[in-house]
Amino acid sequence: MLLAVACPTDQLERTVVDKPVLPDYSGACISNIVPALLDGSVEPPPWLPDPALDAGQVVLLVLDGLGWDQLQDRQHLAPTLCSMQGGPITSVSPSTTATALTSIATGLAPGEHGVMGYRVAVDHEVLNILRWTTPVGDARKRIHPQDFQPNPAFCSQRPCIVTKAEFATSGFSGAHLAEVRFRGYRVPSTMVVELRQALKAGEPFVYVYYDGIDKVAHEYGLAQHYDAELQAVDRLVADILSVLPRGAAVVVTADHGQVDVGDRVIDPSADVLAHVSFQSGEGRFRWLHARPGREGALLEAAQAHHSDTAWVVSRDQTVDEGWWGERVTDAARQRLGDVALVAHEPVSFNDAADSGPFQLIGRHGSLTPAEMYVPLLVGEAR
């Protein structure tokens, strides 16, 4: 069974979503994993099990989209994961892949690295971070990834990264994984082969990324397809454990959890949109950018119409309350909107400019327990 080191399961189940779960930037947070593993000057944190600190080789496996709540609800489907040591830690704000993976890689809170969401405002355009596109197309030449996010990854080391081969040249990889050494894989079985070869070559630290859980949750929600994918992932983790050399360990974490939204998609009120120039962010953390001089009116209208389903907050409130960390750079602040709709109910806020090839049923981005708590688990070579 999992050892809950930060927030026991029964406590999570009793949590009333009356206020946001803020990231624990000074403690058990995904932004502190890499410094704990790679920065020898950092005191070992109590939430990272000893086998990870004592290992001769460490694999950091990020399972995109695996929330602590979802894992706890399905322990019978994940015997390998549930036999490992560890417990829940927090993600960052917003609980979305682009921001969270950048915090994992750089060891920084979003306010410092500046990747403030999935879709962020850049000079009155909206940059899709994962695709590195704006409405006019590929933005890699106009918005250089390493200028957008200049902080070094992995404590300025150049570790081996095992990820999908097509990610190696993406703009987002350039922003959060610059200067690393890629080993690309096409399917999960070859991921294990690449990892085994890297460990056999003596790599002391290998970062592995897998996105299947997130993709399945987005398209199918948290029902049978999700359960099947979790079972497959648990077998994948067992395969990884089977190729670890003696004295090695795997640290498993995630970037965020999930909420099953289904078709509960809300169009912002016309009274709200009357004050809006454009939108950024995503469905469960929707930024509204005010028309000139209408910031106050926008906040008032948004609170009047949407407080029943969302925390309606101003940019200044999020900064003052530490949603982005202790320090927020000028560049990071400029990428935020004026008012945010941060869903606390299982809903999503619609923006016609934010669309994809299919309707997203499972979503994330907000600061509810289901989205904010993720696993931090450690297993040793068998």
The structural domains of the chain, ordered by start, are: 9-259+366-380 (3.40.720.10), 265-363 (3.30.1360.180)
Query: What is d(CA 382, CA 378) in angstroms, rounded to the nearest whole number?
Result: 13
Q: How far is CA 151 from the centre of its chain?
A: 18
Q: What would the pLDDT profile of 116-161 be if each residue is shown by its tens digit? A: 999 999 988 999 999 999 999 999 999 999 999 999 999 999 999 9
pLDDT of residue 3: 41
Q: Residue 115: which of 167, 177, 69 has the closest Cα?
A: 177
Q: What would the pLDDT profile of 241-295 be if each residue is shown by its tens digit? A: 999 999 999 999 999 999 999 999 999 999 999 999 999 999 999 999 999 999 9
Query: What is d(CA 138, CA 128) in angstroms, rounded to the nearest whole number?
Result: 10
Query: In the predicted model, is pLDDT for residue 70 greater than 50?
Result: yes
pLDDT of residue 134: 96
Query: Per DSSP, which regions of 112-153 are E strands?
Result: 119-122, 125-128, 133-134, 137-138
pLDDT of residue 17: 67
Q: State both tokens at 240.
A: 């990884």
Q: State both tokens at 356.
A: 């994809």
* Phi, psi dihedral angles at 53 (to 5 degrees): -85, -25
Q: What would the pLDDT profile of 77-123 be if each residue is shown by its tens digit? A: 999 999 999 999 999 999 999 999 999 999 999 999 999 999 999 98
Whole-structure pTM value: 0.95
To 10 degrees, what angle do helices 212-220 and 224-243 make?
Answer: 180
Share of the chain above pLDDT 70, in %: 96
Q: What would the pLDDT profile of 12-57 be if each residue is shown by its tens digit? A: 333 446 899 999 999 999 999 999 999 988 899 999 999 999 999 9
Q: How confident is the model over 173-194, as a mean pLDDT?
A: 96
Confidence of residue 4 (pLDDT cuts 50, 70, 90): very low
